[in-house]
Structure 1
Amino acid sequence: MSTTSPSNAQPSTTQPTGGKKASSKTQSDWLAPAILTARTITAAAECAPFPYIKGVSGTVVILLETVQKVKKNREDLKELCESTTEIVMILHDQILAHGNTAVKFKAMCEELESYLAAVVFAVQNLHNPSKGFRKRVKEFLLAAVDTNSKVNEMHAIMTAPSFVVTPPSQSINNCPPPSRIFQGRQIILAKMHKFFTPNSGKQLIYVLHGLGGAGKTQIALKFIQESSARFLDIFLLDASTLDTINTGLKNIAVSKFVGDSAEDTLTWLQSKHGGWLLFFDNADDPKINLNKFFPQCNHGNIIITSRNPGLRAYGTHSLVSDMEDKDAITLLLQSAAKEGSEENVQAAAVIVKVRELRVIQQFLIVEQELFHLPLAIVQAGSFILQSEDIAGYLTLYQENRARLLSEKAVQSHDHYAWTVYTTWQISFDRLRPIAATLLQLCSFLHYSGISEDMFSNASKYSFPVWLPAKEELQEPLQFLSSFLDPTGEWSSLRFSEVTNEIKSYSLITFDAATKMFSIHPLVHAWSRNTLVDEAASRLCISSLLGMSIAEIPDHDITLASLRLMPHLGALSPFNAGRGAGFGAAFLYIYLSVRKLQEAQDLIEQVFDKYNLIFGEQHPATLEIMQRLGHTYSCLGEYKKAKELEVTVLEKRSKLLGEDHLDTLRAREHLARTHSDLGDFENAKELQVTVLEKSIRLLGRDHPEALMSMGRLAWIHSKLGDFENAKELRVTVLEKRTALLGQDHPDTLTAMGNLARSHSELGDSEKAKELEVVVLEKRTKLLGEDHPDTLLAMGNLAITHSELGDLEKAKELEVVVLEKRIKLLGAHHPQTLMAMGNLASIHSKLGDFEKAKEFEVTVLEKRIKLLGEDHPDTLLAMGNLARTHSELGEFEKAKEVEVTVLEKRIKLLGEDHPATLLAMGNLARTHSKLRDFEKAKEVEVTVLENRIKLLGEDHPQTLMAMRNLASTHSELGDFEKAKKLKVTGLKKWIALLGQDHPDTLIAMGDLATTHSKLGDFEKAKELEVAVLEKRTKLLGEDHPDTLLTMGNLATTHSELGDFEKAKELEVAVLEKRIKLLGEDHPQTLMAMGNLAITHSTLGDFEKAKELEVTVLEKRRQLWGDQHPDTVGAMQNLAIMYRVLDKLTEAEELEQLVKQIQMSL
């Protein structure tokens, strides 16, 4: 190929500036090619022996790029640009042609460079806004006239008949140009231009690898076209077979008169030190050792295109994958020869069903169907070009994909002979049968996220009774046998050998970071077309996936579900799973990702099938019935779950006996459902039986016995029996540590459960100590992003919150939420749980608006995911109601809480713990609305039902008693309140001890009632005790400690010891500012209390100053209509009257009156 510059090699007949007819082309039509030509010549000049040509061409590049920046009248500069570009092309050719005599051009080059530099400066001034327009034009004309004169003079000399071009003696090989509609790939081309630098002192090899049809050859041809001046000889070799390589090399030897064999060519290239380029195209056969066809020397340049990524070993490389969006769209437009007419815009709107779209968006939809593959896009464009039916193509393509991608148009933009499907069929035909089968089976899975463990897990399938037996799985077992070693164990080496074979043709790719395989979507679809019996293959891969899922450990199910769900979706497991008999295995994937309706539909149909085939007494049918019951529990339909689980227990007891392990598992499932229904006593009775029988049958140390012990501990905790729960959890932890070691997942789960017991017993420091260990070990063993690690982090955040370290809790919860969104997605149940926990922390920090924002999101997502009546949805609704209340939106809170209560009564009954909790929340809102009689009515019902359901001594019963006592206080019935609070305190002490947080709350509440009754000394005595205990247990800075300190300050005031009250209140305010910030509600409450004390001491100005601050901040936080803001207005109005500022007082009093009337 000649190194003549990219334009025509003959001297131009273009007239000098001023005599040429104006062109109709736009600026972008003539300027971009001119810049490319000038840059090419500059690059070629780098290795030329005459450096003065580089100066001229480089200045021309600067001139043209400067013209690009001119905004107006750019066409006036066209003649100048084209003439200077043509002159530098002629100079370049003549210098190369005349060799040593070319020195005569030096003076001409230097003179021209000088003049061009002047005009560059003038053009730059044209878009310099700091000078006046007239002055800029004048400067340009002065320089341009002079330069134009010199350009015309040189142009006349060079185009005269005596100035004959002597073509350089270069080799020209038959290397076709790239496609006329070549688009994009600028990053790869730039990398290649940078790589092939002259005089590198070594042989340069560049490999373009990727899927057939991705455009590897076109990129190479485009690079060669742009860089032709760099190479003296360019040789294109068909590298698809040994014969074509040898023939190509032999032809070079013959044409260069250096011999008649491939060896002669290689010897000649080794001795030829000029800039030659060998282009090995389509080197796809992994069995060919390409290295022996490389000239063995330290010079020369080689480009290789291949589907085999293994050739990356030869040198620098680029993966040629899908095109960028913009380039793919442009390629389709050009190949279809379509413009953005109004008719096409309307057709696009019909296709994509939007209001207004340009035609490009229509093509984008087609292009997405074609998955950015260049060859497929060109084929689509060619079809549209022939059919003239843009709007109809997408429908035709979706219905006739295989045919359209198998046919090539007669008219083509390039020399490529194969269609998309033909390129892949050639590779496919070279695969061994096992490799071909693996690729075909994967065509039923999702095209990405395919992993080895999907197949290795299947090889461990243990044939449980409720899933298909060995005789039903001959085909998948035969397939898996190809990957087993002589001992029958899975061989990763054999699997790698097969996948490497497929990878060598780029039919699959592998991500080393994720250990996942993927298939190009079009290859994925085409692979299925190679099947003879599609139904049998679908059944085989469905069985393999079911076998794999059946062997996933419980602690891995969350992550496994996320990886496998796309494959289940691609397989249509609702049909394929039932056909293969693995619907019950697929169930747990659906439940884990909370596709509950799909799970219910699937398991109900599996149950009907088993009932029909095996009968309702068969063990497999009973197992499916139990799983159906579990599905109903996940849906919140606990009564339906209980009904099924009672049936399973009765039938297994009758068929297998009371002591059979399957009977015990049925009993345990029923115990869990009783817990869900709030019937903890029945749950305890069932679980105690399971534990006793498990110990007798399996031994105290058996994993199932320990699991049963842990579940009994959970029930004890629900019953408020925290000591028994702790005792059982200590036992589980000790035994798991001895049996499994300190780092086993089950041991760490036991440690986390024990931490929760410590927290329930008020020992949050001990809980924190254990949770830190769990988090550290899980991080080390499982990684920072594993669901179990994030669960440990969330638990630790809760404990930090209990300890009053809210900022640390928030920091951890933010990390948990971010990681769960990234790992599990924004809609996953665990993500929503983290979002809810973070909302709770924001609420405790006083940032109720932020809490509300999160809680609204959680509620919306749970309604969409689970439905309006699911228990988790109602929990989110209740949390949002509480935040409405904190924001003073009591009517809104009441509305939401009424809805929650009605739904819980309907779903769970009036006596369920969750129903009673909703009732208690509604009572609290009635109190906020000053409807104390209604609050009392509801709280009496809650207390009576909790006594009936849980007993008089349960923590929830005592909380109900506390709430009722508070309402009696609000109604002025302090003796009744005192009686309830004394009873409650005695029971808290008996249940949890004198130092438990709940006991101290009860003691503080009783102190408040003593104050209401005027017994301030008794109140002080109790508050001093509470303060001492909280200081010792929680520290001086804990929110609960500061709350007690504030209460004690109020009591000192009541006793007339205002200085002591002031001292305490100053301490509370300072600590709250430090811990919570100046704007936290509790900080403002402390500020208001201190203001009252200053007023009592006669320091009215100081009191006013504090009251003003409180009012300003509450207005800023909540607005004027919040009850606490109104209270601050009233306090400040009183202070204004004390200070005789009657106008200010009356203004605030009038505002308060207006607000109260509006509410």
Structure 2
Amino acid sequence: MSSSSPSSSVPPTPPQRKGAFRPFKPTSSSSSRKSDGLSLLIVAAEAATAAGEFAPFPYIKGACGTFVTLLKAVENARRNQEDLKELCEKIQEIVDILQVQITANGAAIAVRLKDVCEEFERFLQEMLIAVDRMQAETKGFRGQIKGFIKSSSISAEIAGYEKRIQGLISDINLITGIDTNFRTVRMESTLNAVHAMISPNLSAVQVPQHTNNCPPPSRIFQGREEILTKMQDYFAQDMGKQHIYVLHGLGGAGKTQIVLKFIQESSRFTNVFFVDASTVETIQTAFKNITKLQNIGDSSSDAVKWLVAQHEDWLLFFDNADDPKLDLHKFLPRCTHGNIVITSRNPALRVYGSDSPVSSMEEEDAIVLLLKSGAVKQITSGDEKRAADIVKVLWYLPLAIVQAGAFIAKFGALNQYLDLYAKNHNKLLREKPSQNHSDYEWTVYTTWQMSFDQLSPAAAMFLQLCSFLHREAISEDIFRRAADYNFPSVGPAKEELQEPLKFLSQFQGPDGEWDTLAFLTVTTEITSYSLAIFAPETSTFSIHPLVHQWSRDILEDPESIYHVTHSILGMSIARIPSIHSQLESLKLLPHLDAVMKFKELGGPDFTWSYGVLYSWANQHEDGKALLISVLERQKRLKGENDLDALYLMQLLATIYGSLGQLNQAEELQVMVVEERKNILGVNHLETLITMLDLASTYWRQGRFRHAEELQLVVVERRKRILGDDHLETLKAMYSLATTYKMLGKLQEARELQVVVLEKHRSILGDNHLTTVDVMDRLARTYTALGDNQKAKELAVVAVEKRRAILGDYHPDTLSAMRELAFIYRNLGDFQKAKEFSSEAIHPL
């Protein structure tokens, strides 16, 4: 049923005839037709439920839906079906009266019927309960309905039940002013409607649809089934309540086309109004068009008021509500009915209702879209393979695929496109197709440029800086640490870092403290246009690969932007706390690799920071090359006795050790130990750290006596300086115990390991991995001593805790299981040994 304006004429009341109001009833009275009669009643009730007349009035639609449920329950009844059917035929009379009145008078009478319709639905629900109970017991309907209508006799129960139905009819007649003796042609038309409904060609009542300037989807629309299904399910729920759905994502991702496809496939909406939501002015223009179409006024507020008054399934489609400053709320009808769909680049609009992020297509759909838009005929397996390669480099973005298809269609260049794209991607993504499949007038790059032009200078700069970082896992910490840079002697001077410092100062308060709110204000601008996506679970930003590439393509001065980016990264690395060095280095490694691709662009020298990070991240060859160059320069500038040079030598020695180049590591460590003794003293903690590193190198060379000598000194001095319970002291004791074991001093090793284990338990707890490692080593020492029972006690606990902390299949867990299997074998428990040995070797 189409919507009608207040000024439109009221439909005439259907012709009336004298006589009692009689519902439609099947003409056959034979028992073989009982089920057929109920089937026809069901079809008639379903037709009424689906009819456009009832759509805007959920209390009527709900009552009719409950009646359909009751009829189906009666159809499946095993007992007293005839009694039930006669009552249902009387109830059908109520539905017929409602449909006649709503058809004739619309909302004017529907509002007055609200209370009685809600009473009607409660009555039907009571009947459903009675039917269910009757089917569950041996008593017939006449027995079960006794409690339902609280009557003392079967005949009184039926009479009382029919009386309630008649009471409802009387209430409706009183409200609508119907003469209780009238008959209507509605009854004859019902039979025709029912037979039309059960025709195989008419499976559902179709709601007439009236659209306001809403275009169809692209002829080559492809895929997006998951989002379309989610939208269909959402709008099918809670009929009669207002629904709002938001599709948000990057420009060019296909949000508008998804909605147009959804509208095309939906038949339930009485009116569809398309609203260009680019600006306040375009919204107001669209709303004024609604007022003209409905002849209801001349302002946007008049349109909103009219929608509020229309209790129908209208759909309001706000397209391209991209401006973050746009207050869309004031244009949303304040009512509990109607449907609204919004497309936007701004994910913040998802607060209005249910939502779907829209990004890249599925590969299979992307291939089909490319071949369709490229007008490729007689498709071969080779064409599909080339299309797959093309959509992959376009990162499955719909607009980029359609542009590529237009180029392929124009030049027949499916085979050449990838080579052309590799050399001319900037031009190809800017080129507007001369032939198009939709009304979208922008290219991929111009779409994003329009968003970029709306950014503040700080936000635009941030996005451009990120174009030289890796496109994923961009964190606030990178910039926060850089703002805390303290200008070490091995790094660039303050004068060289004026530009990055100027940029970072925007996120610092008057006292120099980092201002997270200022940072979020800038980054939110970018995410508001979906030029970047924020992941709250990791507190990091990511950028679509094509946007990442485009943001670098548009740089007017790439060299200066690169200088700022790589300086900020270097400054950030320099401020990583040593306790978090490995974890943070792994996070930053992709960004460092990205920056190093453009190192020919020059800039302030952060080779030292970069070399350190590569070392922490176990990228030893890369770290070694960088640190050797920094060390040589530092020696030239400050001499070999410079403390920074000694630190670099220590790092290089660690890298040599990791690479298995133990002689080079020893040579550097000996030099560092001697120089630190001379400069810092034999008891300085830095001196002791290098001594322990040198002892480790001796140990790996098999020179256990030399390792023991150094470790004894370190343990004694750390005890005196740090105390017996300091973790650094315990670390040295643990290393010495390992050396004792290699020298065959098993009792000495056991004594140290017992002390270390107890102190770790006290300081770190039983479930700390370091504690478990010490426990595992002590178990192995007991095994070497032949005390397999004590070894088993510790090994069992070590296996359990490694499983709980690391999982069943972690290499350390499997190693502990193999050790436990060995201990069980020594104890003669071969079954246990077999179990743990098999599980460790063949984990399932």
Judge same fold: TM > 0.5, yes or no. yes
Does the 8 Å CA contact 1:713/1:728 hold for their aligned counterparts?
A: yes
Counterparts in 2 of 1:676 and 1:181: CA distance versus 1, 3 Å = same
Alignment of 1:131-280 (within 5 A): 171-197=210-236, 200-227=239-266, 229-280=267-318
Which AA in structure 2 matches 1:181? I
| Among 428, 437, 443, the residue aligned to 1:404 | 428
Q: Which residue of 2 aligns with 1:1085?
A: none
Q: Which residue of 2 aligns with 1:802?
A: 819
Does the 8 Å CA contact 2:802/2:812 hold for their aligned counterparts?
A: no
Pair 1:517-2:275 in alignment = no
Q: Which residue of 2 aligns with 1:761?
A: 782
Counterparts in 2 of 1:731 and 1:619: CA distance versus 1, 3 Å = same
Which AA in structure 1 matches 2:478? M
Counterparts in 2 of 1:398 and 1:544: CA distance versus 1, 3 Å = same
Q: Which residue of 2 aligns with 1:537?
A: 561
Unaligned runs of 5+ in 1: 4-41, 52-95, 121-166, 346-356, 805-843, 845-1033, 1043-1070, 1081-1159
C-alpha distance in structure 2 between counterparts of 1:802 and 1:379, whole Å: 62
Counterparts in 2 of 1:478 and 1:712: CA distance versus 1, 3 Å = farther
C-alpha distance in structure 1 between counterparts of 2:217 and 2:735, whole Å: 71
Q: Which residue of 1 aligns with 2:664?
A: 640
Structure 1 residue 485, shift from structure 2 partner: 5.2
| Among 752, 764, 770, the residue aligned to 1:742 | 764
| Among 354, 359, 364, the residue aligned to 1:326 | 364
Question: Secondary structure of the equivalent of 1:178?
Answer: coil
Structure 1 residue 1041, shift from structure 2 partner: 3.2
| Among 542, 545, 551, the residue aligned to 1:527 | 551
Does the 8 Å CA contact 1:752/1:770 hold for their aligned counterparts?
A: no
Does the 8 Å CA contact 2:795/2:819 hold for their aligned counterparts?
A: no
Structure 1 residue 681, shift from structure 2 partner: 1.3
C-alpha distance in structure 2 between counterparts of 1:770 and 1:484, whole Å: 53
Q: Which residue of 2 aligns with 1:1126?
A: none
Alignment of 1:994-1033 (within 5 A): none
Q: Which residue of 1 aligns with 2:172?
A: none
Q: Which residue of 1 aligns with 2:825?
A: 1039
C-alpha distance in structure 1 between counterparts of 2:48 and 2:328, whole Å: 30
Structure 1 residue 373, shift from structure 2 partner: 0.8
Question: Secondary structure of the equivalent of 2:318?
Answer: strand
Does the 8 Å CA contact 2:51/2:207 hold for their aligned counterparts?
A: no
C-alpha distance in structure 2 between counterparts of 1:276 and 1:206, whole Å: 14
Structure 1 residue 179, shift from structure 2 partner: 1.3
Does the 8 Å CA contact 2:782/2:790 hold for their aligned counterparts?
A: no
Pair 1:313-2:351 in alignment = yes
| Among 319, 328, 338, the residue aligned to 2:376 | 338
C-alpha distance in structure 1 between counterparts of 2:611 and 2:295, whole Å: 73
C-alpha distance in structure 1 between counterparts of 2:236 and 2:507, whole Å: 47
C-alpha distance in structure 2 between counterparts of 1:304 and 1:337, whole Å: 32
Question: Secondary structure of the equivalent of 1:236?
Answer: strand
C-alpha distance in structure 2 between counterparts of 1:468 and 1:770, whole Å: 53
Structure 1 residue 655, shift from structure 2 partner: 5.3
Counterparts in 2 of 1:800 and 1:462: CA distance versus 1, 3 Å = farther
Does the 8 Å CA contact 1:767/1:799 hold for their aligned counterparts?
A: no
Structure 1 residue 754, shift from structure 2 partner: 5.4
Counterparts in 2 of 1:273 and 1:500: CA distance versus 1, 3 Å = same
C-alpha distance in structure 1 between counterparts of 2:220 and 2:327, whole Å: 34
C-alpha distance in structure 1 between counterparts of 2:771 and 2:688, whole Å: 22
Structure 1 residue 309, shift from structure 2 partner: 1.0
Identity across matched positions, percent: 46
Does the 8 Å CA contact 2:248/2:347 hold for their aligned counterparts?
A: yes
C-alpha distance in structure 2 between counterparts of 1:645 and 1:791, whole Å: 39
| Among 813, 819, 834, the residue aligned to 1:1076 | 834
C-alpha distance in structure 2 between counterparts of 1:260 and 1:387, whole Å: 50
Does the 8 Å CA contact 2:808/2:814 hold for their aligned counterparts?
A: no
Which AA in structure 2 matches 1:217? T
Provide Cα deviations, 1:760-784, integer angstroms capped at 9, x if missing partner: 13366666767888899999xxxx7
C-alpha distance in structure 1 between counterparts of 2:757 and 2:510, whole Å: 40
Alignment of 1:558-597 (within 5 A): 558-572=582-596, 575=599, 580-587=604-611, 589-591=613-615, 594-597=618-621
Q: RCO (CA 8 Å, sep 6+): is it higher in 1 or 2?
A: 2
Q: CA RMSD in A?
A: 4.3
C-alpha distance in structure 2 between counterparts of 1:545 and 1:480, whole Å: 12
Provide Cα deviations, 1:968-1014, integer angstroms capped at 9, x if missing partner: xxxxxxxxxxxxxxxxxxxxxxxxxxxxxxxxxxxxxxxxxxxxxxx
Q: Which residue of 1 aligns with 2:71?
A: none
Unaligned runs of 5+ in 2: 4-45, 56-102, 107-183, 839-844
Question: Secondary structure of the equivalent of 2:342?
Answer: strand
Structure 1 residue 427, shift from structure 2 partner: 2.1
Structure 1 residue 526, shift from structure 2 partner: 1.6
Does the 8 Å CA contact 2:532/2:542 hold for their aligned counterparts?
A: yes
C-alpha distance in structure 2 between counterparts of 1:503 and 1:754, whole Å: 49
Question: Secondary structure of the equivalent of 2:475?
Answer: coil
Structure 1 residue 659, shift from structure 2 partner: 5.1
C-alpha distance in structure 2 between counterparts of 1:752 and 1:735, whole Å: 13
Question: Secondary structure of the equivalent of 1:207?
Answer: strand
Q: Which residue of 2 aligns with 1:681?
A: 705
Structure 1 residue 471, shift from structure 2 partner: 5.1
Question: Secondary structure of the equivalent of 2:231?
Answer: helix
Counterparts in 2 of 1:265 and 1:113: CA distance versus 1, 3 Å = closer
C-alpha distance in structure 1 between counterparts of 2:339 and 2:185, whole Å: 29
Alignment of 1:1095-1106 (within 5 A): none
| Among 392, 395, 417, the residue aligned to 1:371 | 395
Alignment of 1:685-724 (within 5 A): 685-694=709-718, 704-724=728-748
Q: Which residue of 1 aligns with 2:156?
A: none
Structure 1 residue 330, shift from structure 2 partner: 1.0
Pair 1:505-2:529 in alignment = yes
Structure 1 residue 512, shift from structure 2 partner: 3.2
Question: Secondary structure of the equivalent of 2:415?
Answer: helix
Question: Secondary structure of the equivalent of 1:390?
Answer: coil
Counterparts in 2 of 1:289 and 1:49: CA distance versus 1, 3 Å = closer
Does the 8 Å CA contact 2:421/2:428 hold for their aligned counterparts?
A: yes
Provide Cα deviations, 1:852-881, integer angstroms capped at 9, x if missing partner: xxxxxxxxxxxxxxxxxxxxxxxxxxxxxx
Counterparts in 2 of 1:724 and 1:463: CA distance versus 1, 3 Å = farther
Counterparts in 2 of 1:700 and 1:531: CA distance versus 1, 3 Å = farther
C-alpha distance in structure 2 between counterparts of 1:761 and 1:425, whole Å: 70
Structure 1 residue 683, shift from structure 2 partner: 2.0
C-alpha distance in structure 2 between counterparts of 1:43 and 1:518, whole Å: 51
Structure-1-length-normalised TM-score: 0.51
| Among 302, 327, 333, the residue aligned to 1:295 | 333
Counterparts in 2 of 1:247 and 1:778: CA distance versus 1, 3 Å = farther
Which AA in structure 2 matches 1:325? E
Structure 1 residue 537, shift from structure 2 partner: 2.9
Question: Secondary structure of the equivalent of 1:230?
Answer: coil
C-alpha distance in structure 2 between counterparts of 1:475 and 1:759, whole Å: 58
Structure 1 residue 630, shift from structure 2 partner: 1.6
Which AA in structure 2 matches 1:173? N
Does the 8 Å CA contact 1:695/1:705 hold for their aligned counterparts?
A: yes
Question: Secondary structure of the equivalent of 2:416?
Answer: helix
Q: Which residue of 1 aligns with 2:43?
A: none
Structure-2-length-normalised TM-score: 0.69
Counterparts in 2 of 1:533 and 1:667: CA distance versus 1, 3 Å = farther
Provide Cα deviations, 1:440-490, integer angstroms capped at 9, x if missing partner: 222222222233333444455555554556555444444444444565444
Alignment of 1:868-947 (within 5 A): none
Structure 1 residue 282, shift from structure 2 partner: 0.7
C-alpha distance in structure 1 between counterparts of 2:602 and 2:449, whole Å: 33
Q: Which residue of 2 aligns with 1:160?
A: none
C-alpha distance in structure 1 between counterparts of 2:413 and 2:479, whole Å: 45
